[in-house]
Structure 1
Amino acid sequence: MITENQYFDGQVKSLGYQTTAGKSTVGVINPGEYEFGTAQKEIMNIIEGELAVLFSGKSDWETFQAGSFFEVPANDSFKVKATVQTAYLCQYR
């Protein structure tokens, strides 16, 4: 089954699906700044565009380009800033 997700008044949209390794989503983030919370470990793969990420407890933003990824532990939060539409694959593990 494919699920549709919308966040921040439709500024972030994704399609969710199940794999043998667990749940994943593919989506697009419109330009802006957003904060997400995690229930599971998340592996965010940047497909196209770029994201600046502020991890909880950190004061400096880190930039991730297309072809790179970052991980966020379960029960945590992180902020992202996009200056262009950015496509991603998020794997929940």
Structure 2
Amino acid sequence: MATVGEVEDQIMEVEGLRVVILNQDGRNARSDMQGLQEWPFQKASKGSWTIAEWEEKFEEVYPSLSVAVVDQTGTPYYRNTLIGNVRLDLNP
């Protein structure tokens, strides 16, 4: 089992996305919250996916949580932004 912070790090490593995991009410989940399964994917999602499509993938794994894909300043990207563009922005 993993903490919220560990899952956020795993997503960055595999997907190349900076994320903030949220409770159902939209507040940040505590990074030391435990009991989450490890991020189960070894390959990154296609760059042609939108953030909205990727969020659905996340919510299939963690149905009691939601997620925001954010830039370096913590500002969420628009949900129709392509994952490939986010990766270019975060990893120039």
What is the TM-score of this pair, normalised by structure 2? 0.26
More helix by share: 2
Q: TM-score, normalised by structure 1?
A: 0.25
Looking at secondary structure, tell me which structure has more strand per residue: 1
